[in-house]
Amino acid sequence: MNSKNAFLFTFKWILICVLIGVFSGSVSAFFLVSLEWVTPFREHNIWIIWLLPMGGLAIGLLYHYYGKEVVKGNNILLEEYEKPQKTIPLKMAPMVLIGTLITHLFGGSAGREGTAVQMGGAIADQLKNVFNLNNSDRKTLIILGISAGFTSVFGTPLAGALFALEVLYFSKISFKSVIFSFLVAYVAYFTVEFWQVKHTHYHIPIVPQMTIINFGWIIIIGILFGLTSMLFSRTTHFWGRLFSKTIQYAPLRPFVGGIILAVAIYFIGTTKYIGLGIPTIVESFSTQNASYDFLLKILFTGFTLGAGFKGGEVTPLFFIGATLGSALSIYVPLPIALLAGMGFVAVFSGATHTPIACTIMGMELFGIESGVFIGIACVVAYFSSGSIGIYHSQIVKGAKHRLYQRIKRQNLEDF
């Protein structure tokens, strides 16, 4: 490649990164502002939760008649990366945005990462035809869309870039994708900053020294975080299969699910376990949570998403991990904020098979001082969470894949 072609190649991809970052960041900024409106509205008008079944029906009808090809959400991005076939429809972006806002407005328990990633992926994939890109380049587009979407909604550019690379497994990713994943992440990050949309801040004030005893405690709680990741993934998949088997007409699944959720919320008498749950997450860094908080969030989120409501899994995973870590402070002699922070990212690590991105995210959110504790917890949770994560279509490679293949072969030989 001569200097002129190299310049044109670099300019083209920088332009692509800027376009994806600006558009994805702007859409995510609008999404975050919208969530800031619908959440307080719901909390000040609790009666609206009784309309959750109608909201679910609206989502179900919308996807059944207009969005069957995008109903699989994040899994479409993973599948198209592995085997590129056709451009992801742009309508995925507005549909998942509307579906997620309805879910949060009426009281479903869901996150926001899935929405931002799907919007970013759909926006990025439209540039295939604009720049006449081949399937190899299209894979890079999908990485850039995931990176921009994740970064813009959480405000963690390093983690966002690495998450996009790691969730699609490093072994099949080009050097070009790595470089531009970081570039688009920062473009998306500064776009959200330009729109003056703020992200939630967390703080770990005390980080003890690493000792053999503390190392042992991290291993123990890391295993617990990994098992919790497994429970969340399997619970979500269980409810999805149950609704698919028992209710043939897809739009009725979130309608029926909405009825059950509304009644359940009424009887438990609190809205703590619906929506994003950010106030509870923040509180867990300073106040010990009840031992059942994380279990109820698993139940409510798994049921909400399994019934067909829209939204992400990651913020609920933050809730689950942070509240579990906080609850463990009664038994584990480590600072409560550090335990909550480790759980925050370690449960996410196990559920998405992305320990590197989660470690970096922890350092971006909580400070580099806690990096060793967080890194060990994320790796242990990763190996302890089983081979099934929150994304059906994710391909698990690397050390974890080899470990579970070895275990499977050993079980067959023993049998």
- Could you tell me if residue 413 is inside a domain? no
- Could you tell me if residue 412 is inside a domain? no
Give the per-residue pLDDT at 409: 52
Please give the Cα distance from 260 to 4 (Å, whole number): 63
Rounded-to-5 percentages of helix, strand, coil across the chain = 75, 0, 25
Residues 125 and 15 in one domain: yes
- Could you tell me if residue 203 is inside a domain? no
CATH number assigned to the domain comprising residue 104: 1.10.3080.10
- Could you tell me if residue 366 is inside a domain? yes
Residue-wise pLDDT tens digits, 73-109: 999 999 999 888 889 999 999 999 999 999 999 999 9
Residues 154 and 259 in one domain: no
Give the per-residue pLDDT at 413: 45
Give the per-residue pLDDT at 331: 96
Please give the Cα distance from 275 to 300 (Å, whole number): 10
- Could you tell me if residue 21 is inside a domain? yes
Domain, as residue range, for 82: 3-194
Coil vs helix vs strand at 113: helix
Closest CA to 84 of 136, 32, 46: 136
Give the number of other Cβ atoms within 10 Å of residue 1's Cβ.
Answer: 8
Give the per-residue pLDDT at 308: 97
Q: Which two tokens stand for residue 362?
A: 């922890």
Q: Which two tokens stand for residue 173?
A: 């990713």
Do the Cβ atoms of 142 and 310 come closer than 8 Å? no
Residues 97 and 69 in one domain: yes
Count CA within 13 A, CB hemisphere, residue 229.
36
Please give the Cα distance from 229 to 351 (Å, whole number): 5
Residues of the chain with pLDDT under 70: 1, 170-172, 395, 397-415
Residues 173 and 233 in one domain: no
Quote the number of domains for the chain.
Answer: 2
396 φψ region: left (φ > 0), alpha (ψ -120 to 50), beta (else): beta
Give the number of other Cβ atoms within 10 Å of residue 193's Cβ.
Answer: 15
Please give the Cα distance from 163 to 183 (Å, whole number): 14
Give the per-residue pLDDT at 283: 97
Give the per-residue pLDDT at 403: 56
